[in-house]
Structure 1
């Protein structure tokens, strides 16, 4: 392996060897899985074997990881948030979605999610709007978070509208959120993310299922940064600029499928056991809301598409029936790995 990106503060990202043509991870030896950057195969009798087979079967064609600095259209990197309650629905000024907290004596080791990148629409009045959708470990009540996802930044500059779409990773509190330049993304693309990590080392498996490509890489944080494994989450977020939350653009609905996480003892938990999170705007009104649709299915919905009392006017640009129809048609997305 070789270093392909240096993170400020001492972290680094490496690259695995490229797998040979026609390499089949489902039948390969464990040593080859590790050499070519695949998640470690669970024990044959493990219930995780079916999940592992599904995950590696979705990876597609390997592209070597290449990273670059994040576009600066107004926002800054996501990060952790204060934990508001220990059980039940939560509220936040930057997160919406679902979080599962590790029970006493357990530590999260991996998290997975699959979702379609939403189409974001500038809503004003701020010049800059931004939305991040991601899965991660830690961050709800801890000072660290390891996350990977996709982002849309919108900036109005006079008569110009500047829009950027990109895949990214972050291991907060490292002061960087590098863009995964070798994995292009656009609204409507389906992505799948698997993060496996413990201590100060992790592996990330990032797929664009629509394009049929994926990349994988190990990431090392400095010794001063380590995963606690206290929470796993599936999130739509509005990032910040100089401590001020960005305005969330209208994004419709994001549905995370394959919303599953695992502990160091090889047991698993799905998102349905977690707490929902509603995002509040600066005036304290709900702007984005997380809900649970099934054992491994999480929905995040912009407030323009939340149910309203009969006397409250519904949005004219997109009716609720259309949103529901789109949701029903939506489709999913050396550490020990699984």
Structure 2
């Protein structure tokens, strides 16, 4: 039995409509539609049965470490760097869940803007995928092209501001030698950087106006975590505020500062 061209075309079109979009193309499409982006830190109440931890705040979307104040009013943060190993996210069944590891300037106590860059990790119908991206919030996130990311890769993420309205985002994959960068400008006059916060974050990011389902990312450890200030001073994370994600009645991350340049974020 032979299919006509018209029947074959109809079958292929039907299959394409039925199949879920996966991979880089679908995520680029979503971001181009302003569907994917970060949010400034959203504070959350500590669940009632949570054991008290010193110097910890709770958020519905951020986990990690934040330097909430620069060294001085004239020495605001101008660069943040961190290195992490891309985790192997896990998930079962149908649907999609994600998280994102990134470094950034501002977005906590200063919420007008964030200059940030990092890597998304997503599990869709049991299949893991990874994207490197950059963002100057309130603009949405854009994927880098020309870089491949896989679980186990060692990633160096850097953001640097040249001024309150210009800067650069850099992602280097030390495992395969690929490196990408993008010079950025503030989306508008109301979204200039303050240089007030420096952060190392694993985020439950936003897609289509709501937070995505948070994937089990295992552990993300930022090493070489350092912020630079306008006076040339380098600042580590030993004095940073720890942030855990609390959603509903559950705390779903456990963050520790393991030294002046190391932050560990665990999914629990």
TM interval, shorter chain, is: 0.7 to 0.9
Could you state the TM-score of these two structures normalised by the residue count of structure 2? Answer: 0.78
Q: Does structure 2 conserve the Cα–Cα contact (< 8 Å) formed by 1:91 and 1:279?
A: yes
Is the CA contact (8 Å cut-off) linking 2:44 and 2:246 kept in structure 1?
Answer: no
After TM superposition, give the deviation of residue 250 of structure 1 in Å. Answer: 1.2
**Inter-partner Cα distance in structure 2 for 1:72 and 1:222:** 19
Alpha carbons of structure 1 residues 118 and 71: separation in structure 2 relative to 1, 3 Å: farther
Residues 238 and 123 of structure 1: CA distance in aligned 2, closer, same or farther (over 3 Å): farther
Aligned pairs (5 A) from 1:167-246 = 167-174=132-139, 176-197=140-161, 198-224=163-189, 225-246=191-212
CA distance in 2 between counterparts of 1:260 and 1:111 reads 6
Residue 246 of structure 1: how far off its partner (Å): 1.7
Gap change, CA 1:146 and 1:68, over 3 Å in 2: farther
Measured in 1, the distance between the counterparts of 2:253 and 2:208 equals 22
Cα 1:200–1:84 change in 2 (3 A) is farther
Structure (1 or 2) with the greater strand fraction:
2
Q: C-alpha distance in 1, partners of 2:203/2:27?
A: 20
Shift of 1:237: 0.9
Cα distance between partner residues in 1 of 2:86 and 2:225: 15
Q: Give the Cα–Cα distance (whole angstroms) in 2 for the partners of residues 231 and 153 of structure 1.
A: 27
Which 4+ residue blocks in structure 1 deviate beyond 4 angstroms? none
Matched position secondary structure for 1:70: helix
How far is the alpha carbon of 1:128 from its aligned partner?
2.1
Structure 1 position 162, deviation (Å): 4.9
Contact 1:69 1:178 in 2 (8 A): no
Q: Is the 8 A contact 2:42 2:62 kept in 1?
A: no
| Distance in 1 (alpha carbons) for counterparts of 2:144 and 2:204 | 20
Decide whether the 8 Å contact of 2:82 with 2:200 is kept in 1: yes
User: 1: distance between equivalents of 2:29 and 2:153?
Assistant: 20
Give the structure 2 partner of residue 300 of structure 1: 265
Deviations 1:135-185 (A, max 9, x none): 1000102121111000122233xxxx45431100111001x2111121111
Distance 1:169 1:217 in 2: 8
Deviations 1:200-258 (A, max 9, x none): 11022220000012123321224412111110110111112344322211111111001
Paired residues of 2:112 and 2:193 also in contact (CA < 8 A): no
Q: Does 1:94 align with 2:54?
A: no
For normalisation by structure 1, the TM-score amounts to 0.62
Tell me the matched-pair count.
228
Whole-Å Cα distance in 1 between the matches of residues 124 and 232 of structure 2? Answer: 44
Verify the 8 A CA contact 1:123 1:249 in the aligned structure 2. Answer: no
**Counterpart of 1:149?**
118
Distance in 1 of aligned mates of 2:42 and 2:62: 11
2:119/2:132 contact within 8 Å kept: yes
Question: Which structure 1 segments of 5+ residues have no match?
Answer: 1-66, 304-338
State the partner residue of 1:115: 84
List runs of 5+ in structure 2 lacking aligned partners: 1-24, 46-53
RMSD (Å) for aligned C-alpha atoms = 2.5
Give yes or no for contact 1:166–1:181 (8 Å, CA) kept in 2: no
Q: Write the deviation string for residues 248-288 of structure 1: whole angstroms up to 9, x where unpaired.
A: 1111111100100011111121111101111112x231111
